[in-house]
Chain A
Amino acid sequence: MSNAAMKPLHFKPLNGVRIVVWSAFAVILLLLPVLARSNFAVTLLCLTGIAAIACMSYNMLLGQAGMLSFGHAVYTGLGAFVAIHAMNKIGGGWPIPMWMIPLVAGFAGLGFGALLGFVTTRKAGTPFSMITLGVGELVFAAALMFPEFFGGEAGINSNRTAGSGWMHGLGLNFGGQIQVYYLIAIYLFLCTAAMYAFTQTPLGRIANAVRDNAERAEFVGYDTRWVRYLIVMASSFFAGIAGGLTAINFEAATADLVHGTRSGGYLLFTFLGGVGFFFGPIIGAVLLIFSLVVLSELTKAWQLYVGIVFLIMVVFAPGGISSLLMLNLRRIKYGEWRKMRWPYAGMVFFGLIALWGFAAIVEMAYQAQVAAGSGSVVTVARIPMDASVLASWLIAAAVLLFGGICFEIWRRKFNKVWGEGEERIAEAIKKAEAAIV
């Protein structure tokens, strides 16, 4: 056995892989708007960046500390309202630059986290979830009760180009969306780095321990309630920043920002992205904005599709998309991925066929039931389908059945190949362990 294995291992905080990953992240953020070109695409990027911060902050609760909150939008939303008021104060002559608004909102989030978290974190588990649900309802009700602060139904507007200072003089006035994008990109990068660093600190790790086994954490010296409270405050700080960026992006804040629907969105898409890995919520945020903006343009029944995808993921891949990615990376690492190519291709091909059949049925049903006024014809992936003709339904059902059966055949092949690979990997791991003395 070599001497290297005998020495205690020390982690290098910035090893090669990490430098590459973080540099790539920065470069991608820098270049995305150049690649995007259209204004709509930049708008999408802005929304996605904000959602990424919000979902990552949510995952500090759910993934890191095992706290299922139903009220995360309380902190993003209240952050946005404080931000919008602060923006108006800048318009009224406050001498702080506009780019600091997200920080102001972050500290507002932290403050609300300290205030409301004191109540919510008294309990763990299901009671915690219930209390967050109650607090969320309470804050939404308050938003409608205090129009002075929340602006009632219309909300509150502001102007992000207000203010002064040397940077403002140089043209950094957030007049164009691209400036807003880069502001969001910088905050996204810094928040991501900060939240990642947090996972590598004593408190971050103890949050994992409390998630896994709160009782044992108490017996190794930790007040688990205090741990939960600190985590809620940290999470609320980053949620507040996301809210502040929302305020700058829209130049408005309305009561729906604190609504439970939004909290549910964070929960759902963070879960879809995957709570087990740090980058999972970023994938979730991309899906969130894709569904909310793009998918909802493509089909009126978009929530139905999102719901079905969520169900499938909960049952078959509870680790979310990030866990699927990591499982495949593991395959690549052990040289087992190539054998999966054909099973994957078969599953994707027939899966898409089945999806078309399913989508055709859903779209025709939607057209017939909800949108009958605009005729009975819908286009599903460029193929026109007439909901008033029985043959359309039969064709759609046949395609769904055919695609589904073929998919299932390929899925079984896939499972077989996957299982064989798994055995070989287990062997390899055993060998590697045996080599450690």
Chain B
Amino acid sequence: MSTYALELSNVTKSFGKTAIIRGVNLAVNKGERVAVIGPNGAGKSTLFNLISGRFEPTSGSIKLHGNEIIGQRPYEISRRGLARSFQITNIFSRLSVFENLRCAALFSSGQKYSFWKPLSKLTELNDRTEALMASLELKRRRDVPASLLTYSEQRALEVGLTIAGGGDVILLDEPTAGMSHSETDRFVHLIRKVTVGKTLLTVEHDMGVVFGLADRIAVLVYGEVIAFDTPDKVRADAKVKEAYLGAVLDAEGAHA
């Protein structure tokens, strides 16, 4: 039997008496691109926080490549190959673009906590970091402190930090939030390019991005997955239409 890249079973999360995630089941195949959509407050970001170890679920099971990861710290989960980005840019503000990306690749490159080798001697890592920086189109900003980048450059760096470590399950939390249409197009192209062959979960509000990028779509409403299927089937799903997508698509249609 083949194991899923990521498998959530009956995951719940309550903050006090408020249940935010109410029994989520989700099984993502290896190499699949999944978009998680849903109205505001449905629990999308909370779900990512549970998977990446930022919060611990109240109950349920989360398996990464078949291994239970509940109760593990974020760094342990990261070492198992799951990497995530943040909705609110979360970078190493005083370090340069290059140093940001290199730090994100450092642990997985096998260096861990070493202090007996100069960074400059890590040729393979440095070349890989330069290449990643080029593919993120941040080359000309190489030595600029991350805090001085423009918003869209910071978003690109955010994704860069996420994929630099070579994790094979990537969680992107609203990667295109706050971007203009042209920036979004360019950025989706970039995400496609840098996540080839990886399992991708992304929270996204832009339906153009969702339908363009995802193999399957999970619709999260009030802490439950009400549909998880291919874009066409989700679009046609009566329950989804009723709960969420109908309204959104109508609104998009009205714009167009």
Interface residues of A (CB under 8 A from B): 8-13, 197-198, 200-206, 208-209, 211-213, 215-224, 226-227, 230, 234, 433-434, 436-437
Contacts and interface: CB of A to CB of B under 8 A. Distances in A.
A213 B108 CA distance: 18
B217 to A, nearest CB: 25
Contacts of A12: 120
A230 B113 CA distance: 9
A10 B120 contact: yes
Contacts of B112: 202
Contacts of A226: 113
A226 B73 CA distance: 13
Contacts of B104: 220
B95 A220 contact: no
Interface string B137-178: 001111000000000000000000100110000000000000
B3 interface: no
Contact of B118 (A8, A13, A222): A13
A132 B114 CA distance: 26
A213 B113 contact: no
29 contacts: A8-B126, A8-B127, A9-B130, A10-B120, A13-B118, A197-B118, A200-B118, A202-B111, A205-B95, A205-B99, A208-B94, A208-B95, A208-B103, A213-B90, A218-B74, A218-B75, A218-B78, A219-B84, A220-B164, A221-B75, A221-B107, A221-B108, A221-B165, A222-B107, A223-B73, A230-B113, A234-B115, A436-B142, A437-B139
Contacts of B106: 202, 205-206, 220-221
A212 B95 contact: yes
Given A218-B74, A219-B74, A227-B113, 16 more contacts: A11-B119, A200-B120, A201-B115, A201-B119, A205-B106, A208-B95, A211-B94, A212-B93, A216-B86, A218-B73, A220-B106, A221-B75, A222-B107, A226-B113, A436-B139, A437-B139
Interface string B91-134: 11111000100111011100111111111111100110011000
A223 B78 CA distance: 11
Contacts of B75: 218-219, 221-224
A209 B78 CA distance: 16
Contacts of A213: 90-93
B71 to A, nearest CB: 15
Contacts of B92: 208-209, 212-213, 216-217
A219 B52 contact: yes
A226 to B, nearest CB: 7
B131 A201 contact: no
B83 interface: yes
A222 B106 CA distance: 9
Contacts of B113: 202-203, 206, 226-227, 230
A408 to B, nearest CB: 30
Contacts of A201: 114-119
Q: How many residues of B sit at the interface, in one of the four size bands?
A: 35 or more
Contact of A436 (B79, B117, B140): B140
A216 B161 contact: yes
Contacts of B84: 219
Contact of A434 (B120, B122, B140): B140
B251 to A, nearest CB: 34
A433 B107 contact: no
Contacts of A434: 140
Contacts of B90: 213, 215-216, 219
Interface string B23-56: 0000000000000000000000000000010000
Nearest to B146: A212
A205 B94 contact: no
A208 B107 contact: no
Q: Which 3 A-B pairs have the closest CB atoms?
A: A221-B107, A11-B120, A203-B115
Contacts of B142: 436
A204 B142 CA distance: 20
Nearest to B100: A209
Contacts of B99: 205, 208-209
A216 B118 contact: no
A208 to B, nearest CB: 6
A209 B103 CA distance: 7
Contacts of A198: 115
A34 B140 CA distance: 49
A11 B83 CA distance: 29
- Interface-centre pick from B118, B141, B164 (highest chain A CB count, 10 A): B118
A129 B127 CA distance: 39
Contacts of B122: 202
A209 B105 CA distance: 12
- Interface-centre pick from A216, A226, A234, A437 (highest chain B CB count, 10 A): A216
Contacts of B141: 433
A433 B130 CA distance: 16
A434 to B, nearest CB: 7
Contacts of A11: 119-120, 126
Contacts of A202: 106, 111-115, 117, 119, 122
B150 to A, nearest CB: 12
Nearest to A204: B115
A384 to B, nearest CB: 50
Contacts of B111: 202
B38 to A, nearest CB: 23
Given A208-B92, A212-B94, A220 B117 contact: no
A8 B103 contact: no
Nearest to A13: B120
A253 B122 CA distance: 44
A436 B133 CA distance: 13
A226 B141 CA distance: 31
